[in-house]
Structure 1
Amino acid sequence: MRIVFLLSAWLLSFGVMAAPGDMATLDRSTWPEQLSNPTLFDVASRAEILMFARVLLASESLDEPALAQRLGLRTINMESINRVRQRLWQRLLANYNFAQQSCDQDASFCFLVEDMPSLREQAGKFQVSEDSYYIRWAEPSRLFHSQYLDEQLRKAALFPQTSSEIDRFGDYERNGEAMHDRLFLLTFDSAANALPDNTAWVSEFLRKANMSGTFFVLGKDIQARLTERSVASLQSTYSAQCVGVQGWEFRSHSHWQDWQDSVRRSVELIKSKLPENYVPLFRPPDGQRRSDAEGFFKAQGLQVALWDIDAQDGAGKLKASQSAQRVLTLMLLWRHGVIDFNVKQDGVKTALPWLMTQTSQSGIGWEDCQSGFR
């Protein structure tokens, strides 16, 4: 059996960081095993959890000025950062507890973790030895999690002045944290660009796989489609899928004076044209929404639909293969959640099939879109 050894001298390597704005991705070929059964999914999951816990713990040694410099920000909201860190630790502990249930079948990356102090202790000691079967994965994974942590802490540092998916404003907002272990929900954003629109391709791919996803649409896009094709054609495109709204157009709903009208008009249009597909969900473009909107959304019967796992395929910074590998790595880390793809990037036609192939025997499940945010 392959053994992962513990070494303690690793603090210095944490200082090598990507510049602010770099998106984390990990070449999954550095991991030596296919996720060909649930036990091997757990092995890879334990490894990613411990690596992320290691860099998270090391980040706590930075004082506020040093952390601000690291994140490329002049000022940071430490209260928000600490709240997000605490939630991250809670998720890591819960996920490791799930992942270690198969340790009697494969003991790789299995250490004594019973509570938060023991998780932090193991994170502080975690290192992969030079003669380990997993050594090719270790440094690329460390770099990935360091970059990914910076992404999360940067969003936390700006919250709530700049809202994002990093935190919720109340129970009327949902992400994937409450989902069951090994369950994931596919969601697709529209984004600002009009073309290419891969909705028809993605929805057909999902139907053939007997799967469903939630498509968050822009009101103006649906209106434009209806000038070119019939309602029946539109309904056929979204057959067996769910449709939520992203507003009338893709712009921040945190400072837009007409944001309420944007949401209402979109809901009215989708409910009237796609009544079988409509779900009462609003996804804020770029995660930006107002902190005082609870009354409005409850009056409209809507929930704000956030996400946990971002493919980062809309910014043009990652290739399709990089987005797919990022998503898989985060699936191993978080073990459940809402995945966010951009349906208006051609990369989704490469990333989605690759992801299905890689996870087909891993023991994960894909949540039905009708129940995903409940």
Structure 2
Amino acid sequence: MRIAFLLFAWLLSFGAMAAPGDAATLDRSTWPEQLNSPTLFDVASRAEILMFAKVLLGTESLDEVTLAQRLGLRTINVDSINQLRDRLWQRLLTNYNFAQQSCDQDASFCFLVEDLATLREQAAKFVISEDSFYIKWSEPSRLFHLQYLDELLRKAALFPQTSSEVDRFGDYERNGEAMNDRLFLLTFDTAANAIPDNTGWLTEYLRKSNLNGTFFVLGKDIQARLGERSVASLQATYSQQCIGVQGWEFRSHSYWQDWQDSVRRSADLLKTKLPENYVPLFRPPDGQRRADAQGFFEAQGLQVALWDIDAQDGAGKLKGSQSGQRVLTLMLLWRHGVINFNVKQDAVKTAMPWIFTQTAQSGIGWEDCQNGFR
């Protein structure tokens, strides 16, 4: 019976990874304006919100069979998809209300939106005319949001059998949705590969930029580093940064029999060796964790730390410039949130500085890692 259950669980996990399609990205050079003021950030934000809303509205007419085929799945969880759509609409409405506060300074993409019904109405008729200043952006943006929405819908279609960051199991889990407008938190995942490890470069770059982030580390990686260098050296590497746990090994914590020990051992090691940097947060590898884990995490004094802006810079996915442009587009769409980079991919060394440059005068802020998931 146990073997059969493990085989079934493996098949579910395989289904989550099979044929997900290419990660969405958008060439930001198609947007004709620099984001060099809070008002121009709002203009671009309103445009991305309306385009995503139009695409989202278009999926609601698809029946279950057609949507499953579009997502490359045999079966889909319709209830989970509908719940995701509801959350997306509410967030789009909130974000558009924030973005239209500068309409008296620049009226581009400003329409009468008073409630969800009027947002849906404006999304339905949203179109960029051929002679528009923004025409070169229009079709690339539409394609980006189609592809990005499919990423979200696919994860929702598999949830909760295959868990991911697309939804939460309870209030003990946190993502970026509750953060203040224009505020973003930098987080960094690790991965199973040993190299490249950009931790040292990233922490030094952040310190020089007077910024910080939360690094989610593997227990076995920290143990290996302590075998090569002193505790003081490791503390210097992570100086002024926050460290959470990602488990002892990079593997799914949904069906791993020793997942609790994986989390507990890693947390104990960090609390002992890096107490000034440690924050009581667990980042599940690939977002995969158990639905019935609340009691364990509360007993350990831990929260599950998810994300809502994914750089998609994992192996074989987006390169540096593509990853940065994806993140910036999602920052405009969601207006706040938790950004997830991969510390063991070189894309972050290009993407992150580019984002800082592009947004330096846009009026956004970077949340302190000590406060990010509160």
Q: Tell whether the structures are fold-level matches, with TM greater than 0.5.
A: yes
Q: Does 1:322 align with 2:341?
A: no
In structure 2, C-alpha distance between the alignment counterparts of 1:20 and 1:286, rounded to whole Å = 14
Secondary structure of the structure 2 residue equivalent to 1:35: coil
Q: Does 1:258 align with 2:258?
A: yes
Which residue in the other structure is 2:152 paired with? 152
In structure 2, C-alpha distance between the alignment counterparts of 1:87 and 1:315, rounded to whole Å = 30
Q: Deviations over 1:93-142 (max 9, x none)?
A: 00000000000000000000000000000000001000000000000000
How far did 1:264 drift?
Answer: 0.3
In structure 2, C-alpha distance between the alignment counterparts of 1:167 and 1:26, rounded to whole Å = 25
Provide the aligned length of Structure 1 versus Structure 2.
356
Which residue in the other structure is 1:11 paired with? none
Query: Amino acid of the residue matched to residue 322 of structure 1?
Result: Q
Which residue in the other structure is 2:217 paired with? 217
Q: Does 1:247 align with 2:247?
A: yes
Q: Does 1:61 align with 2:57?
A: no
How far did 1:67 drift?
Answer: 0.4
Query: Amino acid of the residue matched to residue 39 of structure 2?
Result: T
In structure 2, C-alpha distance between the alignment counterparts of 1:122 and 1:177, rounded to whole Å = 24
Query: Amino acid of the residue matched to residue 146 of structure 1?
Result: L
How far did 1:20 drift?
Answer: 4.1
Q: Deviations over 1:315-344 (max 9, x none)?
A: 322111000000000000000000000000
Query: Amino acid of the residue matched to residue 44 of structure 1?
Result: A
Query: Amino acid of the residue matched to residue 194 of structure 1?
Result: A
Q: How does 1:1-374 map to 2 (within 5 A)?
A: 20-374=20-374
In structure 2, C-alpha distance between the alignment counterparts of 1:69 and 1:20, rounded to whole Å = 12
> Taking structure 1 as the reference length, what is the TM-score of the superposition?
0.95
The 8 Å contact of residues 315 and 345 in structure 2, kept in 1 or not, is answered as no
Task: Give % identity.
Answer: 84
CA-based RMSD of the aligned residues comes to 0.6
In structure 2, C-alpha distance between the alignment counterparts of 1:22 and 1:60, rounded to whole Å = 23
> Taking structure 2 as the reference length, what is the TM-score of the superposition?
0.95
Gaps of 5+ in 2: 1-18
Which residue in the other structure is 1:8 paired with? none
Q: Deviations over 1:149-175 (max 9, x none)?
A: 000000000000000000000000000
In structure 2, C-alpha distance between the alignment counterparts of 1:113 and 1:272, rounded to whole Å = 52
Moved over 3 A (4+): none
